[in-house]
Structure 1
Amino acid sequence: MSEVVFLLVPKLHLLDLAGAAQVFSTAADVLPSSRGSACYRLRYVADDPEVPTAQGLAVKAETAWPKLGADDLVMVPGWRSPGTAGGPRLSASQARNLYDHHRLGGTVASVCSGAFALGQSGLLDGRRCTTHHDLQEELARRFPEASVIRDVLYTEDDRVITSAGIASGIDLALHLVAVRHGPAVAARVAREMVVFARRNGDEPQASAMLRHRSHLSDAVHRVQDRIDAHFTKALPLPELASATGVSQRTLTRQFTEATGLTPLRYQSLLRLERAEHLIGQGATVDAAARAVGFADARMLRRLRAGAAA
């Protein structure tokens, strides 16, 4: 049995903790047991027996650090306000325990601002890491020896694994399950959790659906809703304009002003992003092109080449 130890700090985010914990708990349910024991045992440790969360619900924890081996994992969920003025710091014993666990062959991981805890322990020096997109500059400033990778879901460098914001902890945990038990087991865990798909670590933190939503045009948001829901289908501009109640010319102008893209270009980005995910999961370019609505793979290849240029 492997121990999965969550190191809890005050004001931790519940989803940072619960998302990853659910993955390992579900993995323990779906994997065959050995002599009646689950493959994972979850533990929660902190300096105090009760830890307040950012969402107002206190959680219980052990105060004694468990004895761990190289097969065990220590994970640090993120917390609110990790900046220089408001972020909590690990105690000296917590930082030492993290560092020693890694030094003795164990794996250490973080979710969101939990990367700051790994930095305080010296585990980010000389290593690739990431965190929530709003915190990346601060992480790089506070730990200049770290190599902060922008706009990825998670990084892995010599048994130090860091993930981006909040829900990406689920992707990180599914990745660890896939590494240990194979992608089929990780896929089964994802299905049990009703997670749409296990994302690769190098996928962007903000999808195209999110990157082009920071505008105030209700009409354009309605068009985006329609494209988001049906991007694998043909969506002629006259049909989109009619559904919005404006002329084609007006729709194109408003959409471009709000997003920097034409409706067709926005739809192509969604198709490309989904196709890249499918290819990353093992699909051929031809199969991915058909799945996202292209008649053949030529357009997908052109889009991929343009994105790489």
Structure 2
Amino acid sequence: MSEVVFLLVPKLHLLDLAGAAQVFSTAADVLSDSGASPDYRLRYVADEPEVATAQGLSVNAETMWPQLGTDDLVMVPGWRSPGTAGGPRLSASQARNLFEHHRRGGTVASVCSGAFALGQAGLLDGRRCTTHHDLQEELARRFPDAAVIRDVLYTEDDRVITSAGIASGIDLALHLVAVRHGPALAAKVAREMVVYARRNGDDPQASAMLRHRSHLSDTVHRVQDRIDAQFTKALPLPELAAASGVSQRTLTRRFAEATGLTPLRYQSLLRLERAEHLIGQGATVESAARAVGFADARMLRRLRAGAAA
């Protein structure tokens, strides 16, 4: 059985910890239900027996570092205020244990600002890494020998694995389960967790649904809600305008002011993004095009060519 050890620091984010822990816990349950070895044992270590989280709930931890082998994983969840002034630093023993586990052939991983802990342990120098998009510049500044990769969900370089913000820890953990047990088991775990899709590491951190949502127009947000939910269907402009209670001309103007796009272009981006995910999972261009609502693959090919230009 592999040990999955979570190294906890003060003010850690609960979802950074709980999301990844749930993946390994569910994987153990799925394996056990199938008659196989559970294969994962979760442990939590810290300098103190009780660690306060950023959300106000304290969690218990062991204070003795366990004996680990090369098949074992140490993961560092992220925490609030990772900047130079406010972020916690690993103790000398924590940094040494992290470094030595990797040196002996073990795997280390981080979620969100947990990458700063790997940097403090000297594990990012000369390696590809990532973190939450708001923290990437700070990570690159503090660890100039690291190769910080922007706008990806997770990176893997010589048994050093880093993921982006918060929920991407679930993607990282599912990836590790897939590497060890195959994509079918990872997909079953994702299904048990009601995770919409198991994303690849090079998927962007901010989807089209998020990139164009920073405006303050209620009308446009309502139209985007409708498009987000039904982007595989034909959504004529008159229908969208009627549902939002404004004229077609007003909707087009407000949508462009808020997002820089037309409603049709926004819908096309959602279709393209979903199609790229399906293709990355092994679908053909033709089947992906049909799945996202295109009559055939010609429009999808044009969109893909335009995005690559």
- TM superposition score category, shorter chain reference: over 0.9
Alpha carbons of 1:130 and 1:36: their partners in 2 closer, same or farther (altered >3 Å)?
A: closer
Deviation of 1:247 after TM superposition, in Å, equals 1.7
Task: Give the stretch that moved more between structures: 242-251 or 101-110.
Answer: 242-251
Q: Please, what is the CA RMSD of the aligned residues?
A: 1.3
Distance 2:123 2:142 in 1: 13
Report the counterpart of residue 161 of structure 2 in structure 1. 161
5 Å matches for 1:99-118?
A: 99-118=99-118
Alignment partner of 1:43: what SS? strand
Which region of structure 1 is more displaced relative to structure 2, 55-64 or 29-38? 29-38
Distance 1:83 1:116 in 2: 9
How many angstroms does 1:31 deviate by? 1.0
Distance across 2 between alignment mates of 1:271 and 1:38: 38
Tell me the residue number matched to 2:211.
211
Q: TM-score, normalised by structure 1?
A: 0.98
Unaligned runs of 5+ in 2: none
For residues 208-251 of structure 1, the C-alpha deviation after alignment (integer angstroms, 9 at most, x for no partner) is: 01110111111111111111111000011111111122221111
AA aligned opposite 1:283: A
Match of 1:82 in 2: 82
Aligned pair count reads: 309
Whether 1:177 aligns to 2:177 is yes
Work out whether 1:127 is the aligned partner of 2:127. yes
Equivalence map 1:1-309=2 (5 Å) = 1-32=1-32, 38-309=38-309
SS in structure 1 at match of 2:162: strand
Aligned equivalents of 1:33, 1:164: Cα separation in 2: 31
**In 2 relative to 1, CA 268–34 (structure 1 residues): closer, same or farther, beyond 3 Å?**
closer
Contact 2:31 2:37 in 1 (8 A): no
TM-superposed CA distance for 1:38, in Å, is 2.4
The amino acid across from 2:222 in the alignment is: R
- Contact preservation (8 Å) 1:151, 1:206: yes
Residue 303 of structure 1 aligns to which amino acid in structure 2?
L
% identical equivalent positions: 90
State the alpha-carbon separation in 1 of the partners of residues 22 and 216 from structure 2: 36
Whole-angstrom CA distance in 2 between matches of 1:173 and 1:36: 19
Structure 1 Cα separation of the partners of residues 144 and 186 of structure 2: 35
Counterpart-to-counterpart distance in 1, 2:240 and 2:45: 54
Query: Does the Cα contact within 8 Å between 1:130 and 1:148 map onto a contact in 2?
Result: yes
Tell me, in whole angstroms, the C-alpha distance in 1 between the residues paired with 2:253 and 2:243.
16
SS at match of 1:80: coil
Residue by residue, what CA displacement relative to the aligned partner does 1:256-291 show, whole Å, maximum 9, x if unpaired?
Answer: 010000111000000000001111111111000000
| Residue identity in the other structure for 1:62 | E
Cα deviation code 1:131-184 (max 9, x no counterpart): 001101100000000011111110001100000000000000000000000000
4+ residue runs of structure 1 moved beyond 2 angstroms?
A: 32-38
Q: Rate the CA distance shift 1:57–1:144 in 2: closer, same or farther, 3 A.
A: same
